Amino acid sequence: MKRILFLIGILPFALIQCESDPRSAAERRLDERVDSVLALMTLEEKIGQMTLFTSDMDQTGAFLRPEYIDDIRAGKVGAIFNAYGAAYTRRLQEMAVTETRLGIPLLFGYDVIHGHRTIFPMPLAEASSWDMGWIRKAAQVAAAEATAEGLHWTFAPMVDVARDPRWGRIIEGSGEDPFLGSRIAAERVIGFQGDDLAALNTMAATVKHFVAYGAAQAGRDYHSVDMSERRLRETYLPPFKAAIDAGAVSIMTAFNDYNGVPASASRFLMTDILREEWGFTGFIVTDYTAIMELQPHGVASDPAHASELALNAGVDMSMQDGYFNLTLADLVKQGRVTEQDIDTAVRRILRVKFQLGLFDDPYRYSDEEREKAEVMKPENIQAAREMARRSIVLLKNENQSLPLSDQTRRIAVIGPLSEGRRELIGSWSAAGDWTKSVTLLEGIRNRVPNAVVTHADGCDIVCGDDAGFAEAVRTARLADVVVLALGEAYWMSGEAASRSDIGLPGRQRELAEAVLKTGKPVVVVLMNGRPLTIDWLDAAAPAILETWFLGTTTGDAIADVLFGDYNPSGKLPVTFPRNVGQIPIYHSALPTGRPFKAEDKYTSKYLDVPNEPLYVFGHGLSYTTFVYSDLTLSAPSMTPDGRIEVTVTVTNTGSRAGEEVVQLYLRDRIGSLSRPLRELKGFEKISLEPGESRQVTFTITTGDLSFFKEDLSFGWEPGEFEVHVGGNSRDTLMGLFEVVGSRQ
């Protein structure tokens, strides 16, 4: 029977073609092949395709639970996650192909978030590069390594907009802005999937978490979400739409609710918006046990009820809880769900398997020779180092403390992150081997082998006591310059890693103060998975580098920046608050009726801290300086079908070549609804030699000015608009233009 299945999958399936059929010949052919398989399946086999179970790992290696092996052989599993390695995935695939009635191949998925074996910077760090080409490249390398180890499908990119740094999963996304997030979402999807899913070095992308997971109240993971539909549409949905437009073939549901309905049971989200409004044709998979969690959410009374809600809302595949296998057949008999809806879900899943070429050769990704050749090859390591250099943000550099001179003879590397290796690859580091990471201490010694480089931790990351402070101070006093490495442990950010206090852990502040009191020049290197509240450090330290968790090549990449081999060009994709009391704080907030006035008590402000954040969105310094001048608009006004070109001159006024991210923001001065103070609507990363000037031009149309109105219609309005251009969201040149015509 298995042989018959593959022959039928290749032979034409008789369908009457209508001239009005909008599908291409290739799409029709694909659908024919899918239907040829579906026609042979029993109800139980269909439900099996909708079931995703995990592989496990222990000291002896990867293994599959005995009950899951039985389910595979019974045709009750369509996909496995957390299984990788060419040999291991081949063994599992052989079970499905040779031991089941129809021989339908398994789909292997994994959280390839920022690299597979070669670990790239965490996604929030990559977003700091504002470099779309390199962000795409990072996903391409990850896909090539992952597919060489038998994987077909990644649970990435995470495109949740996040404006609360207490939320640990801010590390996995692109920060606070929907425009930047949309651009990055598209690049990551294209990087993973390429232009041909059947290519051996591409894999299916999963856009997650649909939707508004980044708005969990109080920054507490898995918590409820409370927002208007307008906020949902203008802030949280755009990156998902961009990813779908880029071709993403799967979507993962979120853990949170929206308007009281858990995302995995929301027909409004999955069917009304995703399917009907946006035309998404891929499949929807839940997050881990999300259908099961409909019960503690309080909307499902038992497993059958939970499965009924999820399937009828639009879920195609259940992750890990097994509820579909347990309940769907009986639900069909009871008439609570239809086999037609099950068929629709299975078609979507089978379609991706065909696109990946699994029906032509189920073992095509499980090639041990390719695995040896591809994984962690030198080109991948070099690409990770380049991405890491581009992800570093220079937050402060008083008196040109950086870059360090090659002639510096005595360097002290102090702090709990100076030699810690496990932290460097961060959370969600896939199959990365942290023991192969380059530490900061190693990177500096690699860069200046003739210098005397001493080291003291001072304390560990939790830093519960000051027993090591004296040694750290002695080490600092004997040095010409101190590199002070502070930050978080890898487990302090990521899933289930929310923090109510986002300052440096333990007594790291006291360690830093003790080292700073020596009077030695100090450069602070931060390693962390989220924005931190470090206003005291900004006031005390002359130079601060935000390096995040940079992955496999951390130490070498940081050394490249410390010694000026690479001029830092990163810009913050998220605002740094002064303290948690300012949260939420982000650049595109709405104006208040009582804007801040220092002399007037009854205006919007705090009594104990400025309104302004510590570091604004888009902030990032360079070892050179850039001056913006001559902002010009091509016209003072435009009609609804017209456009305005905004041109600015950017000059490198320093002595080093450097890269600058030129950012364009807009503000609608008067609208039918209050509009944000500034909205990012364009950016371009340019490179300038010393003394070089370049004109950068942006084009504005009414599409850039459109928004969701009171009735949720989307369109523009006539009126006056501000345009701001600069190197961050605060320090900009401003121009004005008007849109004339009738309101859309």
Of 243, 145, 247, 156, give the one whose Cα is nearest residue 201.
Answer: 145
Token pair 């006093």: residue: 477
Of 672, 640, 501, give the one whose Cα is nearest residue 580.
Answer: 501
- Residue 518 is which amino acid? T
Is residue 229 within 8 A of residue 710, CB to CB? The reply is: no
Strands 644-652 and 693-700: antiparallel
647: three-class secondary structure by DSSP: strand
Length of the chain: 744
- Number of helices (H), then strands (E), in the chain: 23, 28
Q: Which two tokens stand for residue 287?
A: 């997050």
For 83, residues 6+ apart whose C-beta sits below 8 A from its C-beta are: 55, 62, 64, 89, 92, 108, 110, 150
703 phi and psi angles, rounded to 5 deg: -60, -35
618: which DSSP letter? Answer: T
Q: What is the CA radius of gyration of the chain?
A: 27
- Residue 528 is which amino acid? N
- Biggest CA pair distance of the chain: 84
Per-residue CA distances from 366 to 105, 370, 691 (Å)? 13, 8, 53
Q: Which of 71, 111, 257, 287 is catalytic?
A: 287
Strands 719-726 and 732-739: antiparallel
Count the neighbouring beta carbons within 10 Å of the beta carbon of residue 6.
18
Give the count of alpha carbons within 13 A of 711, CB side only: 3
Going 231 to 235 to 236 to 238, the CA torsion angle's sign is positive
594: which DSSP letter? Answer: S
Full DSSP string of 6-28: HHHHHS----PPPTT--S-HHHH
Is residue 229 within 8 A of residue 217, CB to CB? The reply is: no
Q: CA 621 to CA 186: how far, in whole Å?
A: 27
The yes-or-no answer on residue 287 being catalytic is yes
Q: Which two tokens stand for residue 186?
A: 């598209």
398 phi and psi angles, rounded to 5 deg: -70, 140
- In 541-596, DSSP assigns E strands to 543-546
Is residue 54 within 8 A of residue 325, CB to CB? The reply is: no
Q: Which two tokens stand for residue 442?
A: 């190693």
- Residue 391 is which amino acid? S
397-406 b/e with 16+ CB inside 10 Å = b?
beeebbbbee
Four-point Cα dihedral 656, 125, 547, 451, nearest 10: -60
674-694 b/e with 16+ CB inside 10 Å = b?
ebbbbbbbbbebbebeeeeeb
539: which DSSP letter? Answer: H
Give the count of alpha carbons within 13 A of 364, CB side only: 20
Is residue 437 within 8 A of residue 551, CB to CB? The reply is: yes
Four-point Cα dihedral 504, 510, 515, 521, nearest 10: 50
Is residue 566 within 8 A of residue 656, CB to CB? The reply is: no
- Give residue 473's region: left, alpha or beta (phi > 0; psi -120 to 50): alpha
- Known catalytic residues are 287
